Amino acid sequence: MKKIIALLLVLLVLLQYKIWLGDGGIPEILQLQTEVEDVQVRVDKLKERNQALDAEVQDLKKGLDAIEERARSELGMIGQDEVYYQVISSQSKTEVESGE
């Protein structure tokens, strides 16, 4: 009878060890939960980015205003009936004159 109790006690200790410290145990589950949370944050950020890009694509498909605005800001486009003026601030002008 004592041998059976000792055997059951050893089995209980081994099972508890596996649950608490073995593969697939609590520490690994906690680590995997942290990784899942990190991945979910990255997925959410990428979804937001995709929505912004989709909105921009839809805007570019709809009209010329968005295309023109983008050409002006990124490519420096000037319309046919427009005149280009470059304004130099007084600080920049004094730097040029003094040779700095």
Q: Tens of pLDDT along 43-93? A: 999 999 999 999 888 877 887 777 788 788 888 888 888 887 878 887 755
Per-residue CA distances from 46 to 34, 41, 53 (Å)? 19, 9, 10
Cα(73)–Cα(25) distance, rounded to whole angstroms? 56
Whether residue 43 contacts residue 50, with contact meaning beta carbons closer than 8 Å, is answered with no
pTM of the full predicted structure?
Answer: 0.48
Nearest in space to 45 (alpha carbons), one of 55, 56, 53, 33: 53
Answer yes or no: is 95 within a domain.
Answer: no
Answer yes or no: is 63 within a domain.
Answer: yes
Answer yes or no: is 86 within a domain.
Answer: no
User: Which structural domain range is residue 7 located in?
Assistant: 2-75
Nearest in space to 79 (alpha carbons), one of 65, 93, 91, 92: 65
